[in-house]
Structure 1
Amino acid sequence: MTTAVLGNLPVQEWASSPRTALGPWGAEPPLPAEVTGLRATLRRFATEVMRPIGQELDRLSAAEVADPKSRLFEFHRRYSELGINMEALGRMGAEERGLLFPILFEELGWGDAGLAISIGARILPHYMAAKMGNRFILETYSEDLLGCWAITEPDHGSDSLDPGQVLQHPLGSYGRPGCVARIDDGHVIINGQKAAWVSNGAIGELCILFCAAEGPDGPDPKRGVCVVVPMDATGVTRGKPLEKLGQRALPQGEIFFDNVRVSTDHLLAGPDDFQRAVYAIHADANVLMGAVFTGVARAAYDLALDYAHERKQGGVPIIRHQDVAKRLFHMLRKTELSSALTRRVAMFNTLEPVPALQAAMLAKVTATEHSLEVASEALQIFGGNGLTHEYPIEKIFRDARTSLIEDGCNHVLALKGGAQLIDESRLA
């Protein structure tokens, strides 16, 4: 009887003390050559462009970051030179896009979380226009315009995730929406305010706006609109850029609309399609967040691993201390879990006719919480040095902490995702 040889090599050919080092991306199996090449390009871009610019912007005031002379705009110009645009994505097959999308944002997150989210917001108007089949936006507005995403309001944060009000307390009331659109005679007329958390709000040139629609009985947050608004339209003004704990390279700020009029050509979703549009953008945004903060976790792990080989205490590099090695092991475990889950969800949602929002929320919640845990452990390994501006880990820690709130507070996402698990047919 012949016994097949298992594995890459017969055991007899292994070294007497077997050991295989992981690569720069962990336990990564071989990828298609074009993806490997693009990933290497993105890693160079993250190392040579994103990190220096992100660290410089982190030390500036919010107003200085948003200033047209800041290096934020150099970053966006250099990202444009990579040629990763809607035309390139449109030429790809579904499986290739499902693989590339999380790898792209993992690498951007490894470079700088705030700049990565700025790219995510930048592409949203065109990305959603393509998804919703709006040729007017794609043919009228250049992809070089910086997009911004306006959905939350001063009195409605996580409410915006739940336009069907599935999670609303029985005694609760949504209250009056802060921003309302009326469709009249071929135009969308917008009045009101969006919160200071508009990503790229301080610099955006093209806004994708989600807001309540004016109905026969007044504004109805369940039947809103999704509309693309040029930020130079008459009646659009901005508040001051927001000073915040982390992701300071991502300029955020309020947007005000005073009788702003755009043609209905700019409408991506009307009242009948509004809840579908909210579902669609969050299904993709949550996967994007999962990928970005997988990259953040890997950045924190990489820095801690390097430092643990360099820093000596007790006469030996600290990685020789069992507790440090154990903590690094768990940091890597969480990073690998986040990567595997996010890519699995990205591929599933790309290939399914309708993406699973609950799966996207699994990726976002898992990766962001793991990124904070890994960054916190990394800072602890750096010790006192980790608290100083001389080392990048304190910035990564602040960036990671912000992620548990943005794009949906993780506690609310878990409630919403749990509600998505209910199978009504099994409760009859």
Structure 2
Amino acid sequence: MIRLKKNVELPAAGLTGFETPLSEEESAIQSSVHRFARDVLRPIGRELDRMTPEDVIAPGSPYWTAMIESAKLGLDPQLIAQFPPEMGVRIESIIGEELGWGDSGLAVSLGVAGMPLMMAQSVGNQELIDMCTGKIGCWANTQPDRGSDGAILYREEISAHGKQPVGNVYAKVGADEIVINGQYSSWVSNGSVAQVALAYMAADYGDGFYGTGENAAQTNGIGMIIPLDLPGISRGKPLDKIGQRALPQGEIFFDNVRVPKRFAIAMKDEYLGNLTSTWSFGGTHMCQVFTGVARAAFEMALAYCHERKQGGGFLIEHQMTQLRLGDMLRRLEMARAIARRSLAFARMSPQTHPYATAQAKVSVTEEAMKITHEAFQLFGGNGTTREYPIEKLFRDVRSALIEDGENYHLTMRLGVLASRLYQNGWTKE
């Protein structure tokens, strides 16, 4: 039935756009996280953006204030899991978007910080849970010579006569302990500050690094939770980059580091399944965060167009400005829809896949880049100055097109997945 109205009213629009009514719990969570993003993340993110990477992670830095204040929110994933699945997805999406609206670098740092603990909880290892509780974590997988190669799932992704590289950090698995040597790259999020790591690497179980038969071109691997205060572990300089400067990233080095074998969370046969599960889970956070960044850029442009005069009137009075703002809002709503859909798939589908969530990351960050670029243009010359925060958002979003997988490469992997699904009968009916 058509819902008839007697008057033309403005549509219901909240912080997250044209949203269906939120429950009392959802509204309370959104309000709480929005205040935190507005009052803590956004001002601290701007302050950290002007600091050197070394000063960002130094004792007394505002970065640590953000970490401490975030803990007071009590946003435990296990609490979110108590809600009905559809409601839990929307709450998680709202939280991620608000954090990204506040500051994308800090939002990513907060998301990665809890990954070792979530993995420990997922495998049900109480020793690892205790070791990770209250600690800042990182997700260590990327290596100087094994970035995107570190998560190869199919033979089609390897050149015809090539092999997946062993990489720069590797493990020798013994009867009771694992010995690690090598380094992770500068791009490990929270690598400069983490106390525990959820780490993935190539592994030799006594028969070499490579599998046999169909898996002869792929390395064997292992997943572990590693306390980063073990003898033989050191750090490189924190990475100095153009965007997301509030996110500490840096190298981690291993020199004959001995880890108890009981710290392993995925051995030879479970390695790829565990890695893809982690990637499917973690990749969705990028979508929500950069929907929030796109929203921040749109809101800044919308406000500026009501303040700046040009051609005898405010910018908002010109039809071309209205068209440009309308296009930005349309893209923002599309990005949010894609982000929510990918999150729902990753959390609720019985058969998730990282390439499915990766394509959403591509779509959302590409739309966020277009929105932020258009906002930047509307600011004109003012946008290029540090007086206006739109230039920071532009730098932050530009990094996201490479972060968590370069967008062209991820799109290629979606093509590989489409081919695999077709060979399995998809679209043939």
User: Do these two structures clear the TM 0.5 threshold for a shared fold by scoring above it?
Assistant: yes
Tell me, yes or no, if the aligned pair for 1:106 and 1:291 is still in contact at 8 Å.
Answer: yes
The letter of the residue matching 2:180 is: I
* 1:263-322 C-alpha deviation (Å, 9 max, x unpaired): 222111111111112211111122111111111101100111111111111121101111
Match for residue 71 of structure 1? 62
Residue of structure 2 in register with 1:425 after alignment: 424
Q: Does the residue aligned with 2:379 lie in a helix, a strand or coil?
A: helix
Match of 1:300 in 2: 297
Aligned residue identity for 1:185: A
- Whole-Å Cα distance in 1 between the matches of residues 156 and 135 of structure 2? 36
1:369 aligns with 2:366: yes
Q: Which residue of 1 aligns with 2:319?
A: 322
- What is the rounded CA distance, in whole Å, between the counterparts of 1:35 and 1:305 in structure 2? 26
What is the aligned counterpart of 1:20 among 5, 8, 11? 11
Between the two proteins, what is the percent identity of the paired residues?
Answer: 39
TM-score (norm 2): 0.93
Match of 1:348 among 327, 345, 350: 345
The offset of 1:254, in angstroms, is 0.3
Cα 1:425/1:103, change in 2 over 3 Å? same
What's the offset of the Cα at 1:400? Answer: 0.2
Distance (whole Å) between structure 1 residues aligned to residue 155 and residue 292 of structure 2? 33
Residue identity in the other structure for 1:179: V
Distance in 2 (CA, whole Å) between partners of 1:189 and 1:89 is 37
Aligned to 2:258, the other structure's residue is in SS state strand
Deviation of the 1:171 alpha carbon: 4.1
Matched, 1:98 2:79: no
Q: Given the two structures, how large is their TM-score scaled by the length of structure 1?
A: 0.93
2:164 is equivalent to residue 177 of structure 1: no
Where does 1:153-168 land on structure 2 (aligned, <5 Å)?
153-168=143-158
User: Deviation at 1:355?
Assistant: 1.6
CA contact (8 A) 2:105 2:244 kept: yes
User: Which residue pairs with 1:137 in the alignment?
Assistant: 128
| Alignment coverage as a number of residue pairs | 418
Aligned-residue Cα RMSD (Å) equals: 1.8
Per the TM alignment, residue 228 of structure 1 is displaced from its structure 2 partner at its CA by 0.7
* Superposition deviation, residue 165 in structure 1: 4.6
Contact 2:203 2:222 in 1 (8 A): yes
Letter in 2 for 1:425: N
Structure possessing the higher relative contact order (Cα contacts under 8 Å, 6 or more residues apart): 1
- Give the distance between the partners of 2:103 and 2:314, measured in 1 at CA: 28
**3-state SS of 1:385 partner:** helix
Tell whether 2:31 aligns with 1:40: yes
Match of 2:204 among 200, 214, 235: 214
Instruction: Give the structure 2 partner of residue 108 of structure 1.
Output: 99
Q: After alignment, is 317-326 or 22-31 more displaced?
A: 22-31
Letter in 2 for 1:42: V
Is 1:335 the counterpart of 2:332? The answer is: yes
**Alpha-carbon shift at residue 153 of structure 1 (Å):** 0.7
Q: Distance in 2 between matches of 1:88 and 1:241?
A: 33
Distance in 1 separating the partners of 2:259 and 2:162: 34
Q: Does the CA-based 8 Å contact 1:357-1:417 persist in structure 2?
A: no
CA distance in 1, matches of 2:348, 2:137: 26
Aligned to 1:49: 40
Asked whether 1:236 is paired with 2:227, we answer: no
Does the CA contact (< 8 Å) of 1:146 and 1:205 recur in 2? yes
The residue number in structure 2 matching 1:358 is: 355
Q: Tell me which amino acid in the other structure corresponds to 1:73.
A: W
Aligned equivalents of 1:209, 1:98: Cα separation in 2:
27
- Taking the aligned partners of 1:92 and 1:186, their CA distance within structure 2 comes to 40
Q: Which runs of 5+ in 2 are unaligned?
A: 211-217
